[in-house]
Chains A and B, each alone.
Chain A
Amino acid sequence: MQRASVQLIMQQFSRQMRRMPRPQLPQQATPAASQLLPTFTQHRATATSTVSSKQATPPPRHDWNRAVSEAERIVGYPTSFLSLRWLLSDEIANVALHLRKLVGSAHPLMKTAKHLLYNGKNTMQAWGLIVLLVSKAAGHAASIPDAEQDKSAGVLHSQRALAEVTEMIRISHLVHNSVVNLQSSTDAGQDVNTYDDMSFGNKIGLLTGDYLLGHSSAELANLRNQEVVELISSAVRDFSESEFIGERDEQNNPLPFKPGTFQRPSLSVGVDFNEHDVMTPMPIAQVLGNPEQEWECRNILNAGSLLGKSCQASLKLAGQSEEMQRHAYRFGKHLALAWQACLDAESFQCPTLPLDVTFSLVSAPVLFHLEHDPNLYALLEPGKKSVELIDYDRIHKAIVAGPALAKTKALQTKHTAAALNVLQHFPATDARQALENIILAMQDL
């Protein structure tokens, strides 16, 4: 009976969410929530509409939605794991029931949930899709028995399960990241009601994230490939490590280092993981202070690691060569970085910052501008207590006037090119074409 009611609950829940007026959210929630999804989802909706209205006259060469839906057709049914199968579990029914109590509260979990439900395609939630496309593009070893193949889609059942795991882990990280710091020294939840809301939201967020992690490890175990388990577990490690790098405000939003903290010659090549030992963490200390490489490291941990390692693991499952696996990793990593650069640049596309929009203080334009003009740091310093206290408009104005945006664009082009280059190692198939289309559409966003 519970199962039958799940869909009803979710529908009801989403209706309530839609009714929830966005600008009327309590002020307190905005900064925490806006920093909530520092990777791929930042204010996509607002910014996209601005951009597209500006570029209305010449229609974009590559249409993002078309590229994605064609890609989905290529690998079978839509892959986003927020699918029926997910909605049919008892625990999620439970979560939905509890989430309903949170609707209308200021907890950032609501915003995360909203992003997951509504901005699916726009925000490239479909990481699983990328994993499946890479899997199909690479094909599989002849030794794989027929029973393990999904012939119509051209991928293995295990690869599909892995794609699901990838999305579950990513969502679990986003959800865990919406936990609010309720330490007594912080301002969050000063009055009793807010505190109760926040504390309940934390509980639900934590458990939901744990549920996803628990299930992803069970699914991973069922793949019966310990190298894959090892690789994907290390991506979970990278996610948690990424939340510890550098200075943080009270809600753990990242802040850049004070210019001049590190005196290091910049390396010609960036750093990456030790290929032979996944346990070794990213040697990030070597690149701190160098804007481009620091940015790269932060975002590999934050995004590139999971996408890259998932692509690599998927080819492991298909019995592909070590070399192909390496290409898959590099493809995933560069794609994630290109996408991040694209998102980072977006907030600075128009001369004034749209109302109610903020940006990450460790996004590429901010880091590049700090290198160009260290005086900007004075404007960032109040953020040490809370990033809410920062005058985003002033920083925005300074950055738009400087060279940082051009450098960010170059960064995006660099990683886009790298991703397209790696793709040349894959045989020409419809799946590879679909990946190219997605990348090109991303460039035009």
Chain B
Amino acid sequence: MACLSTSGRVACVSRRQQTHKFICRLFLNHQLSLRRQSSQLPPAALAAAAQGQCMKKYTNNKPQLVRSFQGLGCGINQDYLSLLQNPHSCSHSSQYSGCLASSIRKHSSVHTQQPAGPVREIQIDPYIILDDELKYFYDDVRDLLQSGTSQPELDTIACYYFDGQGKALRPMVTLLMAKALNYHLNNESHQLVHKQRQIALFSEMVHSASLVHDDVIDQSDFRRGKPSVNALWNHKKVTMAGDYILSIASIMISRLRSDDVTIVLSQILTDLVQGEFMQLGSRETENERFAHYLTKTYRKTASLIANALKATAVIAQADDNVAEVAFQYGRNIGLAFQLVDDMLDFVSSTEQMGKPTAADLKLGLATAPVLFACEKYPELNPMVMRRFSEPGDVERAFELVHKSHGLEQTRFLAKKHCNEAIRLAQELTESPYQKGLQVVADLVINRMK
């Protein structure tokens, strides 16, 4: 364990730097958008507002803020810190620094709210403690897919997204939970871990199959920074390749010979499709809309993680309570993950995400930031109803979301789910993996892509 935590620390530093870079970029993006907005307002009014309100709040928050940045810091962000400490002496106009300060405040307010435990002190990198299981993960998926067909083209399409470039979030969380549970139940065995790894394979394969079908549905051209499958191959073949991945994953799971695991995992597939159907048409009233969005998010994203984690508990013969902890942890992580994803769709750039920004709006989807923004700008409501179909809708909605507190509120909601996930993880016996589960919650909220 000592060696685990040491290696964990090394990796953690690099990851921290990444987190740090992410925050810096968040700043920049936000700053730019604020600047864009400010150009549309009379400068005098804005300057006054900035001086009067933001600066006051900023001063109140200042000590805490600086602390939190130093806590993160490796010194990359010196100029920002200096800006922070001497807002008036810097070369920018006071209007500009006012906006900057307010944006710092908004984002830092999230970062300064620490969850229940001292998560930041946990020096564990989940990817490193799972290295044994994850090292050949994608090779194993590709081998599996290759063994099921004699047709090279089918093999190529099916393996296309298993290039190792993904985050492998689902298998990582699944395996962390599996190992944390094994520790908790005190029945770790090589055989059991192998079975749980198959469940992790299943989760990633089902995810990829859904991506493949989504690509045909959405007609998108890029995914993960490369051409999407539908841009490269016949759509009929792509559809069949999706079915193929699913069938191979089902064969693999059936070979675990556990009725209950198969039942838990088959729930994922029905949820996924129902989520897609929910996304097709929404004619709900404003009150129902948020609930509809959350249910859809659960079915499309969280159900996969929640049920995969539950399956690892079921195959380890955990009792219902423990299985429920695993399920709820996965559900919360999944919801938080998707909420952050919906938020990043508005703030991060194309290179970071590997797909165009505001993609959801362009597809006519109203995600959490928009729904939150509706409260402040009711003019968004008709746009949501017509699925941003009229010219200029997407741009206008994008702008209003940034003007409102939609993004902060989304992040806050995601944070709440992460904190709940951390609380659930703490119900398990302490182990590096159990700590890893808490770190994951932190990674999810702070990720940049």
A-B contact pairs, 19 of them (CB 8 A): A95-B277, A98-B280, A179-B235, A206-B216, A210-B272, A214-B273, A218-B269, A218-B270, A221-B262, A224-B259, A224-B263, A227-B254, A229-B253, A233-B250, A236-B246, A237-B247, A241-B150, A243-B240, A248-B234
Contacts of A202 in B (CB 8 A): 216-217, 235
Q: Are B243 and A281 in contact, with the CB atoms below 8 A?
A: no
- How far apart are the CA atoms of A227 and B250 in the complex, in Å? 11
Q: Report if A148 contacts B (CB, 8 A).
A: no
- What string of 1s and 0s marks CB contacts (under 8 Å) between A68-90 and chain B? 00000000000000000000000
Main DSSP-derived SS at the B contact region: helix
Contacts of A278 in B (CB 8 A): 251
Contact of A213 among B151, B243, B262 (CB under 8 A): B243
Q: Report if B244 contacts A (CB, 8 A).
A: yes
Q: Are A244 and B251 in contact, with the CB atoms below 8 A?
A: no
Q: Report if A215 contacts B (CB, 8 A).
A: yes
Contact of B243 among A91, A239, A248, A283 (CB under 8 A): A239
Q: Are A217 and B147 in contact, with the CB atoms below 8 A?
A: no
Q: Are A279 and B236 in contact, with the CB atoms below 8 A?
A: no
- What string of 1s and 0s marks CB contacts (under 8 Å) between A227-238 and chain B? 101100110110
Contact of B259 among A213, A226, A245 (CB under 8 A): A226
Q: Report if A112 contacts B (CB, 8 A).
A: no
Q: Are B150 and A206 in contact, with the CB atoms below 8 A?
A: no
- How far apart are the CA atoms of A225 and B263 in the complex, in Å? 11
Min CB gap B262→A, angstroms: 4
Min CB gap A98→B, angstroms: 7
Q: Report if A152 contacts B (CB, 8 A).
A: no
> Which 3 residue pairs across A and B have the least CB separation, nearest first?
A233-B250, A236-B247, A229-B254
- What string of 1s and 0s marks CB contacts (under 8 Å) between A193-234 and chain B? 000000100110011011101110110111011110110011
Q: Report if A166 contacts B (CB, 8 A).
A: no
Q: Report if A176 contacts B (CB, 8 A).
A: yes
Q: Are B243 and A279 in contact, with the CB atoms below 8 A?
A: no
- What string of 1s and 0s marks CB contacts (under 8 Å) between A282-295 and chain B? 11110000000000
- How far apart are the CA atoms of A98 and B244 in the complex, in Å? 26
Q: Report if A181 contacts B (CB, 8 A).
A: yes
Min CB gap B207→A, angstroms: 14
Q: Report if B61 contacts A (CB, 8 A).
A: no
Contacts of A244 in B (CB 8 A): 149, 151, 153-154, 237, 240
Known: A94-B281, A224-B259. A241 touches B217 (CB 8 A): no
In the complex, which of the residues B147, B148, B241, B267 has the most CB atoms of chain A within 10 Å of its own CB atom? Answer: B148
Given A181-B236, A237-B244, A240-B247, output 16 extra A-B contacts at Cβ < 8 Å. A94-B280, A98-B280, A181-B235, A202-B216, A207-B273, A217-B250, A217-B269, A217-B270, A220-B266, A229-B262, A234-B251, A236-B246, A240-B241, A241-B150, A244-B240, A281-B150
Give the B interface residue count (CB, 8 A): 49
Q: Are A207 and B266 in contact, with the CB atoms below 8 A?
A: no
Min CB gap B18→A, angstroms: 36
- What string of 1s and 0s marks CB contacts (under 8 Å) between B197-240 and chain A? 00000000000000001001101000000000011011111011
- How far apart are the CA atoms of A209 and B274 in the complex, in Å? 12
Min CB gap B83→A, angstroms: 48
Give the A interface residue count (CB, 8 A): 58
Q: Report if A250 contacts B (CB, 8 A).
A: yes
Q: Are B254 and A230 in contact, with the CB atoms below 8 A?
A: yes
Contacts of A176 in B (CB 8 A): 239-240, 243
Min CB gap B386→A, angstroms: 16
Contact of A183 among B230, B243, B263, B276 (CB under 8 A): B230
- How far apart are the CA atoms of A320 and B297 in the complex, in Å? 44
Contacts of A94 in B (CB 8 A): 277, 280-281
Q: Report if B124 contacts A (CB, 8 A).
A: no
Min CB gap A230→B, angstroms: 4
Q: Are B277 and A230 in contact, with the CB atoms below 8 A?
A: no
Contacts of A245 in B (CB 8 A): 151
Q: Report if B257 contacts A (CB, 8 A).
A: yes
- How far apart are the CA atoms of A128 and B85 in the complex, in Å? 75
Q: Are B269 and A233 in contact, with the CB atoms below 8 A?
A: no
Q: Are A217 and B266 in contact, with the CB atoms below 8 A?
A: yes
Q: Report if A177 contacts B (CB, 8 A).
A: yes
Min CB gap A113→B, angstroms: 17
Contacts of B239 in A (CB 8 A): 176, 179, 206, 209
Contacts of B281 in A (CB 8 A): 94, 97-98
> Which residue from chain B places its CB closest to the CB of A198 in the assembled complex?
B235
Q: Report if A182 contacts B (CB, 8 A).
A: yes
Min CB gap B67→A, angstroms: 50
Q: Report if B248 contacts A (CB, 8 A).
A: yes
Q: Are B219 and A182 in contact, with the CB atoms below 8 A?
A: yes
Contacts of B167 in A (CB 8 A): none
- How far apart are the CA atoms of A210 and B276 in the complex, in Å? 10
- How far apart are the CA atoms of A209 and B269 in the complex, in Å? 12
**Within residues 306 to 343 of chain A, which ones have a CB less than 8 A from any CB in chain B?**
none
Contacts of A279 in B (CB 8 A): 147-148, 248, 251
In the complex, which of the residues A203, A220, A240, A280 has the most CB atoms of chain B within 10 Å of its own CB atom? Answer: A240
Q: Report if B64 contacts A (CB, 8 A).
A: no
Q: Are A221 and B150 in contact, with the CB atoms below 8 A?
A: no
- What string of 1s and 0s marks CB contacts (under 8 Å) between A166-195 and chain B? 000000110011011111000000000000
Q: Are B269 and A251 in contact, with the CB atoms below 8 A?
A: no
Q: Report if B190 contacts A (CB, 8 A).
A: no
- What string of 1s and 0s marks CB contacts (under 8 Å) between B124-153 and chain A? 000000000000000000000001111101
Q: Report if A252 contacts B (CB, 8 A).
A: yes
Known: A229-B254, A230-B254. A180 touches B235 (CB 8 A): yes
Q: Are B240 and A240 in contact, with the CB atoms below 8 A?
A: yes
Q: Report if B258 contacts A (CB, 8 A).
A: yes
